[in-house]
């Protein structure tokens, strides 16, 4: 039971907050971190609560700009032109008979982020390649060309066909991969990309990763073919399997445009589709920014992150396809709220307050708001209304009441936040194992996966919702990698702000290693986590009530984290690399 508040309680609702002037210095992750203290003065008592602030910079995107942003590419003529180009590409796909050319075509389409337009054709080509090369004895016929073999392996595994790692045996001898491969940069790059589809215990694939990543790193790009000189460093930074076609399409279009094998129809369609989809994203932003302005949390909770646009990037990453506008908006809006709630639990709220907030969410009742201090009332009601509106839409569209499931998913997140708050306030230092058990919930992976399910599925069933509540393995392991990536990018600043030890620090504490070594270890955990994901994404495709699309969305969430946090807190810090990413992805059309 929550404590009822009385006027003499330190949590009484007529407390006034007087912020001490924030430091004028521009925030960067390297800046020394003066802790701004918010002094809280209770008007009827002498009780003073010291409060911290996240010290985040204000939002850089003008809300009026977001409400009016528009592009020419929403016009009908562009859609017509793109339909015409799509027909030409379809003809190209069905008339090609050479397997390697077919595979390369599929690879280019996927990198241009056009794969979703040709799902049926791609599926049928891959199915026939797989059928032709597999035999009843279990032996798989493979190409003698390394690039061809590795490309086939990667694309088939991506689409849930299990090509055995033994197809690479012919490129090895008793000492491992043969030295003769060293000159084949294209083949090594393809093998490197393929190696990320490995399962645990696939020693040939592990060896392939070690060998190719070491070898490719040692090569000079000046000596490579110009296209490879662009592809190799990009792949070494983040491999294809961990990238998002939508985030990467523009970069690839620029590479492809200069490539010798460029096909002008594919290039034109790539650019046009990018620009058309961008205009749809702008419509999302117009709707979301009006909502964000209206609920005014950014003014009322000014100690917390105001991050609508980066939050929306997660929606784009997870549900990028045009038809999922509702999903992108819900994910973006909910993450914008999550940011603020997270800052309350991590930074601003007292332990007593966050216990009360969690309890109020558990009750899921408008009256529960009464137990909260003022600043939490506004957060609670904004949150309560936003979630209820989604419940209403689903009830209206599907006739299914998802209140229990959805609030349970939210509570999973808040209980994770609460556990961390308790650790922080009691100075508890968890082991990495104890930390990760909680952190896979507190990263919001299961919640966002549930949102993705509820906003994209044609039919919502009790069976599927129950299954999601069990935290299936693929959900657990995608959340695991998501958490480590977040900690990799954000924990240095979080510790300066005051926070629980994150994965890196827990591991340092467990094993006594330096931060540098711990970071290397995190990279290993990410690769191992993906091997689990690779296995469970395959198993889900065989025997799960969930669609492959949803399983892909869970992976996409992890991919957003790997891309945004690669060089620091690309979510919290809006004006670094993320600004450029947002401009190129959301606001600037590609010149045609």
Residues in touch with Mn ion (CB under 5 A): 342, 346, 486, 490
What is the CA 440 to chain-centroid distance, rounded? 14
CB atoms within 10 A of CB 420: 24
Which partner in ligand 0FV, Mn ion, none is near 335 (CB below 5 to 8 A by kind)? ligand 0FV
Cα–Cα dist 488/267, whole Å: 36
Which partner in ligand 0FV, Mn ion, none is near 107 (CB below 5 to 8 A by kind)? none
Q: Which is nearer to ligand 0FV, 256 or 312 (CB)?
A: 312
Is 485 a binding residue for ligand 0FV by CB under 6 A? The answer is no
Which parts of 427-514 fold into alpha helices (H)? 432-442, 445-456, 462-469, 473-497, 503-511
Is 444 a binding residue for ligand 0FV by CB under 6 A? The answer is yes
Is 335 a binding residue for ligand 0FV by CB under 6 A? The answer is yes
Which partner in ligand 0FV, Mn ion, none is near 306 (CB below 5 to 8 A by kind)? none
Cα–Cα dist 413/424, whole Å: 17
Q: By three-state DSSP, how is residue 90 classified?
A: helix
Cα–Cα dist 147/124, whole Å: 22
Residue 403 Rama label (left phi>0; alpha psi -120 to 50; beta): alpha
Q: Distance between the two ends of the chain, CA-based, in angstroms?
A: 62
Which partner in Mn ion, ligand 0FV, none is near 443 (CB below 5 to 8 A by kind)? ligand 0FV
Q: Which is nearer to Mn ion, 306 or 342 (CB)?
A: 342
Distances (CA, A) of 370 to 249, 366, 377, 380: 49, 8, 8, 10
Mask of contacts with ligand 0FV, 555-584, x by CB under 6 A? ----------------x-------------
State in angstroms the smallest separation of the CB of 342 from Mn ion: 4
Cα–Cα dist 207/194, whole Å: 12
Q: By three-state DSSP, how is residue 140 classified?
A: strand
Is 490 a binding residue for ligand 0FV by CB under 6 A? The answer is yes
39 contacts 14 by C-beta, under 8 angstroms: no
Is 387 a binding residue for ligand 0FV by CB under 6 A? The answer is no
Tokens of 196: 């990320």
Tokens of 190: 């393809």
Nearest-CB residue for Mn ion: 490
42: enclosing H helix or E strand: strand 37-42
Q: Which residue, 265, 243, 251, is CA-closest to 320?
A: 243
Is 338 a binding residue for ligand 0FV by CB under 6 A? The answer is yes
Is 301 a binding residue for ligand 0FV by CB under 6 A? The answer is no
**Count, residues near ligand 0FV per rule CB under 6 A:** 12
- The single residue among 53, 158, 195, 339 that binds ligand 0FV, judged by CB under 6 A, is 339
Is 314 a binding residue for ligand 0FV by CB under 6 A? The answer is yes
Mask of contacts with ligand 0FV, 2-41, x by CB under 6 A? ----------------------------------------
Residues 69-108 that bind ligand 0FV (CB under 6 A): none
- How, if at all, do strands 172-173 and 176-177 pair? antiparallel
Residues 140-179 that bind ligand 0FV (CB under 6 A): none
Is 342 a binding residue for ligand 0FV by CB under 6 A? The answer is yes
67 contacts 287 by C-beta, under 8 angstroms: no
Is 452 a binding residue for ligand 0FV by CB under 6 A? The answer is no
Is 533 a binding residue for ligand 0FV by CB under 6 A? The answer is no
Is 500 a binding residue for ligand 0FV by CB under 6 A? The answer is no
Q: Contact positions toward ligand 0FV, by CB under 6 A?
A: 314, 335, 338-339, 342, 346, 442-444, 486, 490, 571
């Amino acid at each position: 039971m929550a404590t009822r508040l009385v006027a003499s309680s330190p949590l009484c609702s007529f407390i006034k907050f007087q912020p001490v002037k924030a430091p004028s210095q521009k925030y960067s992750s390297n800046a020394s971190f003066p802790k701004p203290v918010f002094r809280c003065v209770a008007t009827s008592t002498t009780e003073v609560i010291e409060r911290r602030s996240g010290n985040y910079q204000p939002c850089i995107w003008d809300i009026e700009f977001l409400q009016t942003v528009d592009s020419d590419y929403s016009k009908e003529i562009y859609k017509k032109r793109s339909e015409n180009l799509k027909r030409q590409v379809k003809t190209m796909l069905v008339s090609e008979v050479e397997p390697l050319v077919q595979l390369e075509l599929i690879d280019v389409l996927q990198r241009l982020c056009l794969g979703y337009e040709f799902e049926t054709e791609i599926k049928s080509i891959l199915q026939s390649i797989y059928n032709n090369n597999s035999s009843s004895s279990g032996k798989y016929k493979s190409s003698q060309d390394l690039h061809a073999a590795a490309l086939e392996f990667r694309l088939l595994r991506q689409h849930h066909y299990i090509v055995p790692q033994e197809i690479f045996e012919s490129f090895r001898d008793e000492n491992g991969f043969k030295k003769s491969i060293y000159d084949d940069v294209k083949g090594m790059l393809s093998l490197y990309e393929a190696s990320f589809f490995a399962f645990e215990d696939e020693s040939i694939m592990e060896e392939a990763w070690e060998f190719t990543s070491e070898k490719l790193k040692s090569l000079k790009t000046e000596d490579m073919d110009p296209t490879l000189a662009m592809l190799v460093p990009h792949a070494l930074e983040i491999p294809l399997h961990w990238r998002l076609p939508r985030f990467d399409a523009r970069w690839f279009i620029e590479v492809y445009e200069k490539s010798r094998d460029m096909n002008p129809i594919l290039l034109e369609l790539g650019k046009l589709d990018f620009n058309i989809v961008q205009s749809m994203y702008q419509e999302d932003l117009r709707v979301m920014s009006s909502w964000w302005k209206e609920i005014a949390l950014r003014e009322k909770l000014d100690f917390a992150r105001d991050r609508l646009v980066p939050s929306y990037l997660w929606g784009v990453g997870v549900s990028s396809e045009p038809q999922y506008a509702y999903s992108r908006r819900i994910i973006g809006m909910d993450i914008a709220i999550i940011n603020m709630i997270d800052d309350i639990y991590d930074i601003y709220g007292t332990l007593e307050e966050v216990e009360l907030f969690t309890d109020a969410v558990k009750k899921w009742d408008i009256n529960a708001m009464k137990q909260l201090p003022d600043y939490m009332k506004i957060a609670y009601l904004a949150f309560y209304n936003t979630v209820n509106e989604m419940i209403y839409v689903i009830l209206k569209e599907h006739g299914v009441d998802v209140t229990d499931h959805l609030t349970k998913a939210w509570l999973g997140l808040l209980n994770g936040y609460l556990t961390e708050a308790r650790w922080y306030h009691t100075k508890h230092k968890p082991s990495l194992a104890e930390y990760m058990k909680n952190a896979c919930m507190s990263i919001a992976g299961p919640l966002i996966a549930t949102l993705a399910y509820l906003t994209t599925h044609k039919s919502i069933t009790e069976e599927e919702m129950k299954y999601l509540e069990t935290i299936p393995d693929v959900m657990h392991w995608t959340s695991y990698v998501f958490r480590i990536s977040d900690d990799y990018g954000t924990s240095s600043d979080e510790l300066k702000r005051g926070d629980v030890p994150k994965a890196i620090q827990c591991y340092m504490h467990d094993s006594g290693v330096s931060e540098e070594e711990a970071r290397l270890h995190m990279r290993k955990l990410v690769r191992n986590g993906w091997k689990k994901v690779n296995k469970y994404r395959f198993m889900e495709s065989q025997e799960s009530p969930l669609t492959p699309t949803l399983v892909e969305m869970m992976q996409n969430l992890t991919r957003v984290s790997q891309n945004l946090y690669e060089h620091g807190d690309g979510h919290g810090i809006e004006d670094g690399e993320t600004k450029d990413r947002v401009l190129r992805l959301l606001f600037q059309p590609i010149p045609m």
